[in-house]
Structure 1
Amino acid sequence: MKKQRLKAVALTTMLSAGALMGSVAMADQTLDAVLQAGQAKTTLAQDSQKRIDRLAQETDDLAQQFKQQNKLIDDLRVFNAQMEKQVAKQLVVVQELEQSIEKVTVIERQIQPLIFRMLDGLEQFVNLDKPFSLEERQAQIAMLRANQDRADISVSEKFRQVLEAYKIESAYGSTISAYKTTLSLDGQDREVSILRVGRISLMYQTTDAQASGYWDVAQKSWVSLDSSYNAPILKGLKIARDQATKDIMTMPIQAPEAAQ
């Protein structure tokens, strides 16, 4: 009887130990499942946080872009307002130009006859003036007359060219120059040097510096000078050619005549 009781206790103990071991195994499995679930939640939380951080960064970027775009829009509004003012002023200028163009058409019709009168006056002046650089000056006038028939030159340019010719003629009165040419002296052609001192005196001297003369306005011809003028005229030629320093020169000068 006692043995049966001991067997029963032993069997109960073994059953209890088996149950305990089964419980421990189940507990281990449950703990693993809990840990895995926790790890999964942690991973999900980390992924969620990364998405949140990324969305937050994208939101900040969009906010910055929005601010920049708003600033750009404000700048464009200011720029457009300024452009509108400029366009309004330019429209006024265009209207003024249109009116000026109408006036220019009238002025052009008046300028062309004026140019012809100026050319006539210039040609007459050259013919009455002392005959220095005569061929060059007459060629200039002929060129200006020919330009009046050219359609590729504007009226304003034609007028400018005539004014430039007047300036050149005016400059002759305050300059000194020397050049070589051929004159008919005593019935024979002689190579001479011409000395022009403003419009005060126009003289010549042969290349051997042995004969000199001047242009007589009254006689409209060359008149010989005595040999005492040879040295002063030679000196004047050197000064005009920058071969000598400027100095006082003795020149034949005709007394002015009253205008007719």
Structure 2
Amino acid sequence: MRQNASAVLSILILGVVLFATAQAAEKKTLEATVNVQESIEKAAATSQKKIDAVADQADRMLTEYKLIMRQYDALKGYNDQVARIVRAQNEELATIDEQLLEIDTTNQGVIPLMGRMVDTLDKFVALDVPFLPDERSKRIEELKTLLDRADVTVSEKYRRIMEAYQVEMEYGRTIEAYTAELVVDGNKRSVDFLRIGRMTLMYQTLDKKETAVWDNDKRTWRVLPEEYRKPTMLGLRIARKQAPPDLIKLPVPAPEKAQ
């Protein structure tokens, strides 16, 4: 009986030892598993951080890329516009060069023409009825001075010459009365002049005692008879707008036969 009891006790002890050993092994296995799991979680967390960092960097790079692409598009559009402007300016410069060449060619003909126009006007005034001699001579001298000025454009010179021609044309269809000095036979005196177009130029002394008309063929003054004194006085008043228009008897040169 004692031997059986000892055998049972030995078996129980062995079972306890085996159970304890199994528990210890299981505990070690569990701890190892936990350690592995923790290592995996730590590695996953580290990897996630790396992934998050890479994702953030990718987002920044994508944002920078989009910004750079917008800047590129803007710069490309600007460069294209500048290129178009440069092409247009080059074309305009070529056109200007052609125009300058044409202007130079034109000036070669226009400038001598303007000189001849002023000379012609000077001769015309010299041969014309001698009304307003100082004013007309001064205008021509100013034109001659103007032609030699480098600071005045060709177009302005031409405009001034045409303006002078226009003034001379206006004299032919207007009447005028003015007082000025007259020198006859070395004697200077103030007289009233009456101009009717270019047909008649007369003067009357301020005391109304002498009336004369210009003879352009003989280039001299011709004293008129008494019958022209009052008509000349009336003509002077009409020209000064001191009397209404009226028919007056004044000497007019006979028309010349056309050649």
Match of 2:55 in 1: none
1:1-260 → structure 2 map (5 Å cutoff): 95-185=94-184, 188-258=187-257
Do the aligned partners of residues 172 and 84 (structure 1) sit closer, same or farther apart at CA in structure 2, a change above 3 Å counting?
farther
- CA drift of 1:181 comes to 1.5
Q: Distance in 2 between matches of 1:110 and 1:146?
A: 19
Distance in 2, matches of 1:84 and 1:194, equals 70
Distance 1:256 1:117, change over 3 A: same
What letter is aligned with 2:147?
Answer: Q
Q: Deviations over 1:9-55 (max 9, x none)?
A: xxxxxxxxxxxxxxxxxxxxxxxxxxxxxxxxxxxxxxxxxxxxxxx
Deviation at 1:112, TM superposition (A): 0.9
Give me the whole-angstrom Cα distance separating, in 2, the residues matched to 1:86 and 1:237.
67
Deviation, structure 1 residue 192 = 0.6
Secondary structure of the 1:143 match is helix
Q: Distance in 2 between matches of 1:83 and 1:178?
A: 66
Q: Deviations over 1:100-140 (max 9, x none)?
A: 22201111121110011111110110011000011111111
Aligned-pair distance for 1:188? 3.3
CA positional deviation for 1:86: 9.7
Root-mean-square deviation (CA, aligned residues, Å) is 2.9
Amino acid at match of 1:201: T
Aligned sequence identity (%)? 40
The unaligned stretches of length 5 or more in structure 1 are 1-76
Question: CA–CA distance in 1 between the matches of 2:93 and 2:239?
Answer: 53
Would the alpha carbon gap of residues 129 and 84 (structure 1) be closer, same or farther in structure 2, given more than 3 Å must change?
Answer: same
CA displacement at 1:238 relative to structure 2: 1.0
Query: Within 1, Cα distance between the matches of 2:82 and 2:241?
Result: 60
Sort the Cα spacing of 1:246 and 1:93 in 2 relative to 1 into closer, same or farther, 3 A: farther
Q: CA deviation at 1:84?
A: 10
Task: Give the greater-gyration-radius structure (CA).
Answer: 2
CA distance in 2, matches of 1:150, 1:113: 14
Structure 2 Cα separation of the partners of residues 87 and 259 of structure 1: 64
Secondary structure, counterpart of 1:231 in structure 2:
helix
Normalising by the residue count of structure 2, what TM-score does the alignment of the two structures yield?
0.63
Partner deviation per Cα, 1:215-256 (whole Å, 9 max, x = no partner): 001211000011111111111111111111122222110113
Matched pairs, number: 186
Q: Which amino acid aligns with 1:108?
A: N
Quote how far apart the aligned CAs of 1:183 are: 2.0
Deviation at 1:82, TM superposition (A): 11
* Aligned partner of residue 209 in structure 1, secondary structure: coil
Shift of 1:89: 7.6
- Secondary structure of 1:244's match? coil
How far 1:144 moved relative to its partner? 0.8
Which one-letter code corresponds to 1:171 in the other structure?
A: E
